[in-house]
Amino acid sequence: MMSDETAFRNGRKNTVSSGAQNAGNSQTQTKIQDSAEFTDSNSERVVDLLKGEKRRIRIAVLASGRGSDFQSIIDSVEAGKTNGEIVGLITENPEAFAIERAKKHNIPYFVIDKKAFSDRLDHDRAIRRKLDEIKAEFVVLAGYMRIIKEENLLRDYYGRIINVHPSLLPSFPGAHGQKDAFEHGVKISGYTIHLVDASLDGGQILWQEAVDIRDCESATEVATKILEREHVGLPKVIDMFSKGRFIIRGRRARYVPY
């Protein structure tokens, strides 16, 4: 099935046939990973995006809805607190309010509508092509409500895709972390920022912050309280990637500043 990828850049709309893109994809993919040091051995992996260079990280954000985490990244970049440049918003939802946030800040945005793809993996491949096209070095899943399954995307961008999840993993993975924590009666929850791999919220943990929810009277209140802290921690972790490297041994990730 031939699917359409619709790109919006500063208010202009272009429709590109994904079937046509496939034909030349192997020749035109940008090898962004060549610009970052990423070594892999039996005992250790090192993720080093800038290798000490004094420049900004090229960031792509994937979001599905309101985009409040996306807004926190925008605000931090514009304030000079996060050393990055947002090169694009990608969403699978043409109604996502995150699009309005991108418009307001003149950030290129691209709707890759999931409904246009009969095959889930083809949708992931379309996202991969867009990431390569905009030369994204770093990818943030900020309220992106789909699990990335395409193995080449996960392999080639491993160490350069992070997700923010609203619980203290490994407790309460999945789409309803706040609700699950509230209904389970826990007193301390929080959020986790982790690397993305083929598992459900199972990549190596980079950052966690505990949030006291003992006085919350609803799952909505829990979600609001955790989200406020996500908005602080997520831009901070993105900035860390521009100022150091992560050394990964098994399940553990250790940060080493330059």
Residues belonging to the active site: 165
The most distant pair of C-alpha atoms in the chain lies apart, rounded to whole Å, by 56
Task: Give SS3 for 185.
Answer: coil
Please give the backbone phi and psi of residue 256, each rounded to the nearest 5 degrees, phi first: -125, 110
Q: Count the Cβ atoms, other than its own, within 10 Å of residue 150.
A: 18
- Round to whole Å and give the CA distance between 122 and 99: 22
Q: At what angle do helices 18-28 and 120-133 cross, to 10 degrees?
A: 50
Are 46 and 248 in contact, with CB atoms under 8 Å apart? yes
- Round to whole Å and give the CA distance between 44 and 159: 13
Instruction: Show the 3-state SS of 166-201.
Output: CCCCCCCCCCCHHHHHHHHCCCEEEEEEEECCCCCC
Are 14 and 20 in contact, with CB atoms under 8 Å apart? no
